[in-house]
Structure 1
Amino acid sequence: MLTVLENCRVSPPPSTVGDKSLPLTFFDAIWLLFFPISQVFFYELPHPKSYFLETIVPKLKHSLSITLQHFFPFAGNLIVIPNPNRCFNGKKPEIRHVEGDSVALTFAEYELDFNELTGNHTRECHKFYPLIPLLGQPSKVYNYVTIPLFSLQVTLFPNKGIAIGLTNHHRLCDASTRFNFLKAWTSIAKHGTDELFLASGSLPFYERVIEYPESLDEIYFNQPGIETIDEGYKIPHLVGGTDKARATLVLTQAHINRLKKWLSTQSPTLEYVSSFSVACAYVWSCIAKARARTGEQKGENDNDGDDDLERFIFPVDWRSRIHPPLPPTYFGNCLGPCITTLTKRSLLAGNKGFQTAAELVGKALSETLKTKDALLKDADTWLERAYEPVLMIGVSGTPKMKVYDIDFGWGKPKKHETPSIDYNGSISVNASKDSAGDIEIGISLPTKQMDAFISISRSELESTFYDQDE
């Protein structure tokens, strides 16, 4: 159902970048073995194929080239020197750009129903996979391996719209840097030049000024599995069939306020209550109840772990929280995990599931954010806790980044999706397109669990409203 119209590569304008390298920090090394991150932005564009080819395609190529001039790592490659002893001997992986490096860009046409894909209702996950660009496989050059880090695909739904899909290795950057890249690209696409972008003061900050113990480099650059990164390393991709379905739950400001009000009566001493923590807690408890209802208690990270443990993990941006603080345009990864663990899984599926989840998430956030030095306090254990074989739900995204402001000049997105949550059962949390106070949550679950989740999430909200109105 997908027809490729053009495969091309886009480089920065000649002689604007040259040969550059960007060292990785331990924040980047954490993600060396992580799966790629993918996003898809859907735009209504009721124009024929001829308009797409003659107007949209040249515009996107030109603006992307200029954007890469300022965000050169997106066109570069990860450079790794394989070592079977799992020790880099001081030669850490780095992102390297040489003159002529480029981004793979695909233009395609898709036959599926545009309106079907852009709804909030339950949809089959595999229908989104053709919209996701694949990353090129590693290759060996001299004694090192080069790994592509970024790719793009623009897909036409004739007379309906287009989808812009992005795939990047997490080791390239986190959501904040990717969002800054997209804001620059859209500004240049709309205005034809980079003048307004340059005037905004949003150029990437590439200096590696984060201060942290060298022991963290030793841990994260030598993590188990690093020795397998060579020219034979296979980058994971979301392809083929799956029994998973995806849906979008929108918690309006009214929903969130009601949940906060209910929580204030049940847990009046809870220190940290935010829209984000309440939304995450609500979805976490509904997923647990959906698993219990369907009898599918095992999770994707639950292979041989403790049957009663459950973990919820979400990222915290530390740019403004570390000492000294970093500029908001710092390029790369600067995330620390906020982790909470439940020791009795059945509590989430009970009558007090939401309250239990809210207390756990709120307490974890309160403890993580209370001091400037909290970031590195237990950084040496992040890897161990993140990959421990227990049932785990992660979070991708943040409501602080307005993904529906990504406008290339033909209007705001009709829908934003994060297909990469299919890898491990995470959820995506973003600002809603309709109201600044609403939160949009992407869910990816096996079909039976998804049906149960939709039913439970609706009835839980209705019962909460009913209880407060009595």
Structure 2
Amino acid sequence: MGSYDAFCKLYSKGLLFTKPIPLKDGSHSMRNIIDQLKDSLSRALTIFYPLTGHLVTKKGDDAPSYHVILDCTDAPGAQFAHAVVDAQVADIIAPDDVPPIVESFFPFVGTVNNDGHTLPLLAVQVTELVDGIFVGCSINHVVADGNSFWHFFNTWSEISRTTFRNNSNSEFVPRPPIVKRWFLNGQGPIINLPFTHHDEFIERYLPSPQRERFFHFSPESVACLKEKANAECNTSKISSFQALAAVVWRSITRARQLADEQITHCWLPVDNRLRLDPPLTADYFGNCIQALNATTTAGELLSNNLGWSASLLHQAVAGHTDASIRAWLEAWVRTPFVYQYGQFVDHQSVMFGSSPRFDMYGNDFGWGRPLASRSGNGNKFDGKVTLYPGREGGGSIDLEVCLPHQPMKALELDPEFMIAASPSQAF
């Protein structure tokens, strides 16, 4: 399900752990840990086998006729790498800004989805720090969205933990993925794209220099924003995320000092699985997301209150129904296209990605919970905001905000935003 977003970069996320102290029997040594991760990854991929395949392009006799399939019959498998760096955990999580070294923790930097024709669809890099371990993972976004990425990651860590602590080789998986493809009204599995060669739609996007900074929002702060937005709209329907997104949209727009008449969008990722009728299971493995947006002018956004902004986002989400999803897909099948970054990168808008609902901090490979989560450089641009759950749980949220230097400085001085943001969590 979903259009062929071959131009977008890979979905890259990773977790930072404290390095365990080696024991006398050899367990918890890095050699033992690497062997355990390789073994558990191999067993996880027997369940999530689409990640071991590759993309294959088929061309019909009548041009333009171009379609891409996922071939698992001649599966090249996944890539696994072990790296060592002279850095410490504090070097990664102490700064508010994401240090440049984090980019090196992820494989396939600069790769786009269409490269899955020649490169593995899944690549893992385990980076050994002086006192920590970073497990970075890049997945081809054509094959899996964030929900499927963390489903795989959670399963992999559970297999590793079970083996590591219980010396058990049990293959029991409480949430096996559903890999059968869903197609609209029985269409597919072949959908022709209006191209004769990938050069017609592939461009290598190079982001301009920018800062990437983390901001933390406590459960109390998120609850206050939700209460304020609902009170200003005399409703109870605005969600915590919609209220927080409204604050971010307003504050970044103010930091950019846009003209009142300038159009600005706020893009939100929405999982279609449970919005379809009948719904798909949450364990459906694939890419089943869509980007919604609310649109207004900078002047309207900033002259109205938080509730007004949040209500625009609520209306966009509430209108995303089974009927609207099917109508969008039917239109795409009639006139297929490939996503381009220009649709989202306009330096006046904000785009959210990932979700604070993903189980990031529940991943334990056998040596404890993660200290922090970070992203690779794929799909980062001016105005991109990546969502993470706060490590303490309880509804807390971390935001990774990408902005050029001057707007970021202005955001750091924005009262509405910084009053809601909490001090960074120290671990």
**TM-score tier after normalising by the smaller chain length:** 0.7 to 0.9
Of residues 24, 32, 45, the one that matches 2:6 is: 32
2:19 is aligned with 1:45: yes
2:238 match: 273
Closer, same or farther in 2 for the Cα pair 1:86/1:60, shift >3 Å?
Answer: farther
2:295 is aligned with 1:313: no
Deviation readout 1:152-193 (Å, 9 max, x if unpaired)? 1110112x1011111122101111111111111011101125
2:39 is aligned with 1:62: yes
Q: What letter is aligned with 2:128?
A: L
Checking the alignment, whether the CA contact within 8 Å between 1:135 and 1:167 is kept in structure 2 is: no
Closer, same or farther in 2 for the Cα pair 1:145/1:333, shift >3 Å?
Answer: closer
% identity of equivalent residues: 20
Q: What letter is aligned with 1:72?
A: Y
Closer, same or farther in 2 for the Cα pair 1:228/1:355, shift >3 Å?
Answer: same
How far did residue 377 of structure 1 move?
2.6
Aligned residue for 1:405, secondary structure, equals coil
Checking the alignment, whether the CA contact within 8 Å between 2:80 and 2:125 is kept in structure 1 is: yes
CA distance in 1, matches of 2:50, 2:63: 25
Deviation readout 1:299-329 (Å, 9 max, x if unpaired)? xxxxxxx972211212211212213322222
2:120 match: 148
How far did residue 32 of structure 1 move?
2.2
1:211 match: 184
Report 1 or 2 for greater relative contact order, CA contacts < 8 Å, sequence distance ≥ 6.
Answer: 2
How far did residue 449 of structure 1 move?
2.1
2:68 match: 93
2:80 is aligned with 1:105: yes
Unmatched segments (≥5 aa) in structure 1: 1-24, 299-305, 464-470
Spell out the pairing of 1:335-414 with structure 2 (5 A cutoff).
335-342=289-296, 344-348=297-301, 350=302, 352=304, 354-368=306-320, 371-379=321-329, 380=331, 387-388=342-343, 390=346, 391-414=348-371
1:257 match: 223
How far did residue 30 of structure 1 move?
3.3
Of residues 409, 422, 430, the one that matches 2:388 is: 430
2:252 is aligned with 1:287: yes
How far did residue 127 of structure 1 move?
2.6
Q: What letter is aligned with 2:357?
A: K
Q: What letter is aligned with 1:396?
A: G
CA distance in 1, matches of 2:169, 2:286: 22
Spell out the pairing of 1:179-194 with structure 2 (5 A cutoff).
179-192=150-163
2:281 match: 327
Closer, same or farther in 2 for the Cα pair 1:213/1:69, shift >3 Å?
Answer: closer
Q: What TM-score, normalized to structure 2?
A: 0.82
CA distance in 2, matches of 1:425, 1:71: 33
Checking the alignment, whether the CA contact within 8 Å between 2:387 and 2:400 is kept in structure 1 is: yes
Deviation readout 1:330-382 (Å, 9 max, x if unpaired)? 1111113222112x12333x3536344312111111221xx432312334369
Closer, same or farther in 2 for the Cα pair 1:186/1:95, shift >3 Å?
Answer: same
2:425 match: none
Of residues 385, 409, 425, the one that matches 1:451 is: 409
CA distance in 2, matches of 1:256, 1:454: 18
Of residues 88, 92, 117, the one that matches 1:117 is: 92
Deviation readout 1:12-54 (Å, 9 max, x if unpaired)? xxxxxxxxxxxxx4x1x33222221211211111548x96532
CA distance in 2, matches of 1:308, 1:430: 30
CA distance in 2, matches of 1:204, 1:365: 26
Aligned residue for 1:80, secondary structure, equals strand
Unmatched segments (≥5 aa) in structure 2: 422-427
1:162 match: 133
Q: What letter is aligned with 2:412?
A: I
Per mean C-alpha deviation after superposition, the further-off stretch among 372-381 and 436-445 is 372-381
Corresponding pairs, count: 404
Deviation readout 1:256-315 (Å, 9 max, x if unpaired)? 22222222332215x7311111111111111112212xxxx59xxxxxxx9722112122
1:175 match: 146
Q: What letter is aligned with 1:67?
A: A
Checking the alignment, whether the CA contact within 8 Å between 1:82 and 1:145 is kept in structure 2 is: no
2:373 is aligned with 1:416: yes
CA distance in 1, matches of 2:261, 2:58: 39
CA distance in 2, matches of 1:244, 1:250: 20
Q: What TM-score, normalized to structure 1?
A: 0.75
Checking the alignment, whether the CA contact within 8 Å between 2:52 and 2:72 is kept in structure 1 is: yes
Q: What letter is aligned with 1:281?
A: A
CA distance in 2, matches of 1:114, 1:71: 31
Q: What letter is aligned with 1:451?
A: K
